[in-house]
Amino acid sequence: MTEFIQKKLSDSKAARWTALAIVAFTMLCGYFLTDVMSPLKPMLEAELAWTSTDFGFFTSAYGWFNVFFLMLIFGGMILDKMGVRFTGMMSCILMLVGCAIKYAAIAGYIGTSGEILGFKAQVAYASLGYAIFGMGVEIAGITVSKVIVKWFKGKELALAMGLEMATARIGTMLAMAITVPFAKYFQSVSAPVLLCLIMLCIGTISYMVYVVMDKKLEASMAGEEEEKEEPFRFSDVFLIIRNRGFWLIALLCVLFYSAVFPFIKYATDLMVNKYGVEQELAGFIPSLLPLGTLFLTPFFGNLYDRHGKGASIMLLGAVMLIIVHLLFALPILNVWWFATAIMIVLGIAFSLVPSAMWPSVPKIIPEKQLGTAYALIFWVQNWGLMGVPALIGWVLDSYCKLDTTNGGPAYDYTLPMVIFMCFGIVALFVAFLLKREDKKKGYGLELPNIQ
């Protein structure tokens, strides 16, 4: 038996870390488009006459198909039924199609006049493209999570997930830091979206390389009964949703990410309006958040692998989230260096929670149900990613507009920051419940991953 295990491709450190690097790069390309429009909000208002409500509507489109048409859940079922190769390529194609439609709208090739559902046609078409892309990138996310479990279970699972998330966050960092200078250089608000389209093409080719590696992995596992997955059954969905630990993880996920990702969408505008940072430089401060995760998420993941304390890590991250948004809400020290310091702390919190949360799912859910479980968690998360940006955009237009003499829109971000802080408070309560449930059910969230 020992000789057979040594022949598994995933037992080769070089092979499993190479596989991780390939799929992580694909996610990097996807995350670049996810956040590329965030720093462009002032330019969209100035050049394309978008409002905060338009921007919130567009940003909320990310979750339309995932939430209302249950595409994430179907994606998880497809993943468990068809495997990571088919599902991964399908998600790459969806990302490419969505990005192409979004670019065509922002560049003015479609939707230059008229209205759809009461919104500018351009906003509606861009939102449709973003919705298709959102479906693709979220399915890609659950696929890559299962890829990592497939290669790293019983090994450096949390570290691998941390490194994948950190690499993907480089895409977010690039989107926040270079988007406005890139758009200004080419004198086009659509130029960064075209760059995203090119990167997604490269990311799709990258995943094709992984497909070859996955075939070799399965060939090396042929005949090993313990690695052979049982067939997925629809009844597995009911087994998952009856699991209390699953729902606590899902709730923690939606609350935490609702206080981070929608915040990133408006963070550049916050820097301009509250801290007086120049528009060309405003994106660099929020870019520190994903930059911090590049180093800290793998560190905390490795800590979880070797020493455990996953539930405690999630508790600490929720506390830090509350403190950060409270400081952003308070009318004190409205200077760039204070905003930078707070953003660094948020980066630490953003590293703590995911580094423990995602590797905890395989401790609660059997491996044959993981695709569907991750899909259900992402589906719950998408309610927040869809609803919160729209809520913040409406709140800004309805309650936070300031009188200005220069003709440009300006906003008081105190109320949005209080809303984000409330998500953190509820997340802290859920984290306490999860820790208590772990003690009762013995999931092992406080135990190391490396056996």
Q: What does the pLDDT look like over 3-25, one tens digit per residue? A: 444 468 888 889 999 999 999 99
Joined together, the tokens standing for residue 313 give 């890590």
CB 288 within 8 A of CB 268: no
What per-residue confidence (pLDDT) applies to 233?
Answer: 64
* Maximum Cα–Cα distance across the chain: 77
Asked if residue 361 has pLDDT above 50, the reply is yes
Cα 124 to Cα 133: distance, rounded to the nearest angstrom? 14
What per-residue confidence (pLDDT) applies to 328?
Answer: 93
What per-residue confidence (pLDDT) applies to 176?
Answer: 83
Asked if residue 232 has pLDDT above 70, the reply is no
CA distances from 275 to 96, 167, 399 (A): 36, 29, 19
pTM: 0.76
Q: What is the pLDDT of the chain when averaged over all its residues?
A: 86
Joined together, the tokens standing for residue 424 give 């953190």
Asked if residue 249 has pLDDT above 60, the reply is yes
What per-residue confidence (pLDDT) applies to 230?
Answer: 54
Asked if residue 1 has pLDDT above 50, the reply is no
Residue 142 or 207, more confident: 207
Residue type, 433: L
Q: What is the DSSP string of 28-92?
A: HHHHHHHHTTGGGHHHHHHHS---HHHHHHHHHGGGHHHHHS-HHHHHHHHHHHH-HHHHHHHHH
Query: What pLDDT, in 10s, does the model give residues 392-440?
Result: 989 998 988 887 655 567 889 999 999 999 999 999 999 999 999 999 9
